[in-house]
A and B are shown apart, each in its own frame.
Chain A
């Protein structure tokens, strides 16, 4: 128990640290944010990627080991306890945690306390009644531990074996999905806007072909509505702007291709010269601070914020309207035909269902532990014909005792309540 509490405390602390330190940054970032010594410590302790660090994975493994051992050790004693709790002989000799004498209607009392199935028998001191309820509740913590174990296993195995691919493009584009042998084609992509210019939904039509057997499957995917094709799950993940870039040399067409915002295009006959599209503004205006911004999502005044590099050195940066052209020596560059591209995430995680099952088992365990509280009642008839009724509840003794006394009085307990030993 102490080890488990210690592990939970360390995990809590580790998660807190991981949430405070910005994950996945470089040494330079941490040095600027926290100073060089702290940055060194962050990198050395793998706090920059804490949740995937060796020591965090080891902690999780220890937690799994602890859960396995805990459940294995408790299994025989739980089975034994189940047997003992169901055996009237174990209870009849004891006085329980609460009792009432002189009960005239013990069966009604049992029923009122939620004990449905009542066993009867004849002992040395006279007839007896016995009932036990919510025995399944004894398994709550055990089931909960099992669920956590399944959850961690499902998550861990999923992380270790998961295949994730990202493909972006425009309608008509096709691309191979990693090493899966399948090809994804983007058939359509629509951005549904509301009247107030906010986005209602992003929807992509996709087709996946498998050249090995010639099969193909199609689907529509949108945010919150992924599709499963050939065992892979396809998500409409993100979007951005793309446009056509036209490069002429000495007035003659040299190059026409698509450029994505955040991407670059090298000039075909001079690869050291690169045009980078920093951002796209569909409804370009100057912000009050003087910088570029867009007034709406509509293509009212398209503008392209570009940078030009030569051998890695920036030559210039500016915003270009569609009616304008950029001249670099013999080259002229223009942009047009802006449209949204889609970014599709493809994922294959064979252990998602295991993790989900783990989560559901945890829920079941918690319900058993919290809401099915094992309790027993038994009664022995005295020589005067009235019954002495006893009760015991593993959890919730005070509340069980209060209710016991209350219901007992309603069912003819003649004697005043005895002092409880809760």
Chain B
């Protein structure tokens, strides 16, 4: 099969995936509005199916492009949505927390919507990007961003949880504040670990490609800023009275830094990562 054929299939799959994520989001909204658990179950199945097809789309694009599909804005955005979906599904299953999927769905849809607005053309890679480190560097960033996305969603749920009356519909589907705080901490932990790995692999790669493992490029600097914000989050949690609400707010602020590192830096502060 020709490369073009693979890319056509990927295009089709991408559209189907977007529709599935959209349908899942609408059903989750309906679940909250109509208070019917069955709708959430269907939404979860659609999100799961979307994730499977999304994985297939990424693999097919990789085959069509003849390389890892992680090198331009479209590819990173669709991978970012995939990473967020992966981490949220893992957390839903691990912590039996269905409502997390409901709150993650709009974020996933927004990110894949952003991907849909980017050019899907496949270009050959410039020599600096032709490295095995690319796979390690970008795939770890996808998991890190996905985990931070989940911590953002959990932060929002935590703040909403505070305003819920006991025994309300959502109250029965949302864990206790202590558990929410802990799951949020776990997602930040996962994100920070992978972000550290991203920075480390990026530094090793930069040293090989550009002769300098750290040159204060805006992308590097904002990765460090994101790292510092989550490091502050972890330190604050050790202080009395800072768990819960304050940690939730910090998780939300941290994700804004993540989004700026991803989109804002490329738009406003171009550097050597301008292609990313």
Interface residues of A (CB under 8 A from B): 1, 4-5, 8-9, 11-12, 15-16, 18-20, 23, 51, 155, 164, 194, 196, 198-202, 222-226, 233, 235, 237, 345, 347, 352, 355-356, 359-360, 362-363, 366-367, 369-371, 396-399, 402, 422
Contacts and interface: CB of A to CB of B under 8 A. Distances in A.
A366 B192 contact: yes
6 contacts: A200-B124, A201-B130, A225-B208, A360-B200, A369-B189, A370-B190
Contacts of A402: 179
Given A18-B221, A235-B210, A5 B236 contact: yes
Nearest to A370: B189
B118 interface: no
A5 B131 CA distance: 37
B193 interface: yes
A399 B186 CA distance: 11
B126 A199 contact: yes
Main secondary structure of the interface of A (DSSP, over half): helix
B213 A352 contact: yes
A399 B182 CA distance: 8
B214 A155 contact: yes
Q: Which of B123, B228, B229 has the most CB of A within 10 A?
A: B228
B209 interface: yes
Contacts of A356: 203-204
Given A363-B193, A366-B196, A19 B269 contact: yes
Interface residues of B, number: 49
B203 A359 contact: yes
Nearest to A9: B232
Contact of B130 (A5, A15, A23, A223): A223
B3 interface: no
Contacts of B126: 198-199
Interface in B140-191: 176, 178-179, 182-183, 186, 189-190
Contacts of A222: 127
A12 B232 contact: yes
Interface of B: 95, 123-124, 126-128, 130-131, 176, 178-179, 182-183, 186, 189-190, 192-193, 196-197, 199-200, 203-205, 207-214, 216, 218, 221-222, 224-225, 228-229, 231-232, 235-236, 238-239, 265, 269
A360 B201 CA distance: 10
Nearest to B132: A224
A51 B124 contact: no
A221 to B, nearest CB: 11
B193 A224 contact: no
A394 to B, nearest CB: 12
A5 B211 contact: no
Contact of A226 (B182, B190, B211, B269): B211
Given A223-B209, A367-B193, A398-B176, A19 B222 contact: yes
Given A199-B127, A345-B211, A363 B232 contact: no
B216 A396 contact: no
B179 A1 contact: no
B128 A223 contact: yes
A1 B189 contact: no
A93 B54 CA distance: 54
A398 B182 contact: yes
A237 B208 CA distance: 10
A360 B203 CA distance: 12
Contact of A4 (B205, B221, B235): B235
Nearest to A198: B124
A224 B228 contact: no
A370 B208 CA distance: 31
B141 to A, nearest CB: 15
Nearest to A49: B216
Given A223-B127, A398-B179, A8 B269 contact: no
Contacts of B212: 347
Considering the complex of A and B, which 5 residue pairs feature the smallest CB-CB distances, nearest first? Answer: A223-B127, A370-B189, A235-B211, A19-B221, A12-B228
Contacts of A224: 127-128, 130-131, 205, 208-209
Contacts of B179: 398-399, 402
Nearest to A365: B196
B235 A5 contact: yes
A422 to B, nearest CB: 6
Contacts of B224: 15
Q: Which of A194, A359, A363 has the most CB of B within 10 A?
A: A359
B64 to A, nearest CB: 16
Contacts of A202: 127
A11 B228 contact: yes
Contacts of A345: 211
Contacts of A233: 211
Nearest to B220: A19
A198 B186 CA distance: 44
Contacts of B205: 224
A18 B265 CA distance: 13
Contact of A12 (B190, B199, B225): B225
Contacts of A226: 208, 211
B135 to A, nearest CB: 13
A355 B213 CA distance: 10
Given A8-B232, A363-B196, A18 B127 contact: no
A136 to B, nearest CB: 16
Nearest to B192: A366
A18 B231 contact: no
Contacts of A371: 189
Contacts of B193: 363, 366-367, 370
A402 B94 CA distance: 13
Q: Which of B183, B203, B204 has the most CB of A within 10 A?
A: B203
A116 B266 CA distance: 50
Nearest to A6: B232
A239 B192 CA distance: 38
A194 B124 contact: yes
A14 B121 CA distance: 38
B90 to A, nearest CB: 14
Contact of B124 (A9, A15, A196, A352): A196
Contacts of B231: 8
B188 to A, nearest CB: 9
A296 B211 CA distance: 29
A198 B239 CA distance: 55
